[in-house]
Amino acid sequence: MNWLENLLIIAGILLDVFAAMEIQGAMIAQIKKRTLVIACSVVAAMELAFYFAGYFVCWFLTSQGVISDPYHYGEELAAIVLALLGVRLIAKAIKREFIQERLKESLKVFEYARTIAMSSIYTAVAGGVCYLVGITVWQLIVIIVLVSVFMVIMGLYTGLHFGFENKTIAYVAGAVLLWIVSLEMFLHRIIEVI
């Protein structure tokens, strides 16, 4: 997989983080630089940890012989998993959870860390899939950190200035990105049309 596909996968998954941070941004009066640095660091660390947990689980299963030929089946499995992750984001967009909005002085790490952890489970799934298709680890470390920081900053400031109603758009955009990569993998690598 090339860097653009990796970027689209990570951006698609992390648009869920954008939506979570947008909700947090809508409930604070101002964003302090210290709070922003902590939020970016926590989210990037959690995303990296979950991604590599999934990556190394698949590596371990392959090394133990549980997954016999990961690169043979990896493309098909990756296309299916990415499409399902997109469906999950659409389901979240349709669900439109009720959020009790209240003004807070500042962000508390534990208030958003649980939401990010639940979202990161899907990052772990993507990490496992990425091992199966043979993605370069170092390239992904940079992409995950940069996209995580970008999504946190944009989510907080979008929420601060516009409220949290844009989260539905973020879910749909994430699904579309994941579906684009899934379709490209299916057409190009699996049935070799393109």
Q: What is the pLDDT of residues 16-63, one digit of tens each?
A: 888 888 888 888 888 888 888 988 999 999 999 999 999 899 888 888
pLDDT computed for residue 177 by the predictor: 92
For residue 165, what are the contacts with CB-CB under 8 A and spacing of at least 6? none
Task: Sketch the domain layout of the chain as residue ranges.
Answer: 3-93+103-190
Query: Is 92:182 a contact under the CB 8 Å cutoff?
Result: no
Taking the CB of residue 188, how many other CB atoms lie within 10 A of it?
14
pLDDT value, residue 193: 63
Q: What is the pLDDT of residue 115?
A: 78
pTM: 0.83
Residues 64-91: tens digit of each pLDDT = 888 777 776 777 888 888 899 899 889 8
- The residue to which tokens 């949290």 are assigned: 164
CB atoms within 10 A of CB 84: 13
- pLDDT tens-digit map of 94-153: 886 655 566 667 677 777 777 788 878 888 888 888 887 877 788 889 999 999 999 999
Of 125, 117, 136, 120, residue with least CA distance to 54: 125
- Cβ atoms of 22 and 167 within 8 Å: the answer is yes
CA angle (10, 11, 13) in 5-degree steps: 65
Rounded to whole angstroms, how far apart are CA atoms 174 and 171?
A: 5
Give the CA distances from residue 132 to residues 30, 48, 54, 139, in Å, rounded to whole numbers and listed in that order.
43, 17, 11, 16
Three-state helix/strand/coil letters over 134-177: CCCHHHHHHHHHHHHHHHHHHHHHHHHHHCCCCHHHHHHHHHHH
- pLDDT value of residue 106: 67
